[in-house]
Structure 1
Amino acid sequence: MTRKNIKRTLEIDEIIKLYLEGTSTTEIAKLSNVSPRYIRMILSDYNIEKRPFGNWKRQYKLNEDYFKTWSKNMAYILGFFIADGFIANDIQTVGFAQKEKYILEQIRDELGSNQPLYQNKQTGVYMLYLNSKVMKNDLMEIYGITPNKSLEVKFPYVPDMYLSHFIRGYFDGDGNINSRGYVVSFVGGSLDFMVALENHLKTRGFEVNLAKKENHIRLYMSGRKTIKEFYDWIYHDKGLYLKRKFEAFPDQNLDTETLQNAKLKKTKQAVAERKKAFIDEYRKSYCIHQACETAGIALGTYYTWLKRDKSFSEEFYKILTKGQLSNQ
């Protein structure tokens, strides 16, 4: 019977696959949050023939110098990595994690690798592990990405011609599109990165709002015309992209000259849709600021609705009361 360890972060089959592919027990132990001795015990339990100590060789291809040369796909992958990638602390490994398998397969192919993906059976998330000292050093030394990137990462230098691809990559990892409320949002833990992203977007004429929470920062844009212009910019001459988010954008075939942000905000149907978006989000998160962001409204608009719209007020307080009772 396999020994149990509640700290282990990789499944047994993932550990065995990594070992059979040439990864050392020390590296697997770091990835699994256990000791090398524990990894060797698992291998013995499953009768896996062990290699001589210190014997390792790369079994899978990889263009280790990929991040040394700019291209639209490299910019996309770099942005995607800052959102959904990780750098191991004590071993020469970088990786990506995503629920949608195909985008990791496309990234893997672009990196010139035939490394198989692994799936966490508990979360359903797919992972791409790449063992490369060169690639790890490039990401850290050229682009300033550290193992604690979620809180510390700074916006790297990106040539202007590749900026839309970089932001599309970051959007596919840590962005969201609410087509009903005409809101695009980004989330991150590094204030430096999010302020720089805000400045880049403002430089290109987008009206951006930045909201700081206790443990994260949200950046969002709203308005029918604004969202269409953002769509046109990040998907122009696109290479890699996440289909789900691309297809979620409204008004894809309309000319931006026919759209107006202000007109949408004043129509009764649009206001009703925003109120519904607010209520739906508040029912999920019990967070007024998050609901305002999802609906694409200012906090003052929420207070106005609460004061002047009886049905909105009743629905809001019904959810609030339910939440309070469930916490008792």
Structure 2
Amino acid sequence: MKNQLFKHHLFWPVTMLAALLLFNLIYSPDFFKIVLREGHLYGSLIDILNFGAPLILVAIGMTLVIATKGIDLSVGSIVAISGAVACMMISKGADQSSLSLVLTAIAAALGLSLVLGLWNGFLVTGAGIQPIIATLILMVAGRGIAQLVTSGQIITVSSDTYEYIGTGSLATLPFSIFVVAFMLIIASLLTRRTALGLFIESVGSNPKASLLSGVRSSVVILAVYIFCGLCAGIAGLLLSSNVSSADGNNAGLWYELDAILAVVIGGTSLNGGRFYLMGTVIGALIIQTLTTTIYMIGVPPEITLVVKAFVVLAVCLVQSEAFRQSLVRRWKTRHYPGEKEVVRRAS
């Protein structure tokens, strides 16, 4: 029972998240404090869920792409483009709080995100370009597109309707949490209650065998890139509505790397195959909690990324079974140098 617990794919991610939260509680005793003011819940834990929502969305889409042995480096650029398109359309309206205007802007932003995901999928499946190169093209060009949409400026909007997406509350909780929950449920139902999940894992494990088995791998790969683009587009709406502005240069910057880290921390292999959506969610929460912790303890901004990188490295090493077994072998060798049989069995 104990060994099964240690081998569960969620054990180490949950343990790392709990350790981070415990550190924050020790450093700041009010870290877990949640208060209700004017019908809204406030607190550090609520902030982690709210501010981590865009990353969780991007990471969910990235999980399915990585499961097919692919990668999507363009998600950060799609985040920027989505927010830029929505804010630009709203800023041009006579009544920026008009529901029809906001819905039209959201539809346009998400529609373009789907097209960009389709473009990535076409380059991978139709043109036969390696995923890292195919998505790198949009990663570079996408930033330029976002800045063209905003004319190189930060576009600000004054729309209570649009702001609700990122700052509004529903049942005392941030609305963004419900958006993430909805997309997670949709992804889970599609991949665990239908054959799609099996197709994704089979394509990632062995695309040739999948093709011979009748699985249209190109359609599966195309679908996951489209879904990933949609998730990034929604994340762009959350980010831009949260600050009521769109920055084509900085919005979603480095999100692709954080999303990949979240997927890996959650237990999904970059070699494709089996994937874990809940593990990805926990991985994204670890990264957001780490970011909150770094700011809380007052780490200088110039070394924030260095500290974050070392902590993420430590988390990944702890998760690595090969690394843990190596430490066990060294400990056995040091304390029981004559008992080679014990060392052999531990390996």
Give your verdict on TM over 0.5.
Answer: no
TM-score by length of 1: 0.22
| Structure showing the higher helix proportion among its residues | 2
Larger radius of gyration: 1
**Structure showing greater relative contact order (alpha-carbon pairs closer than 8 Å, 6 or more residues apart):** 2
Structure with higher strand content: 1
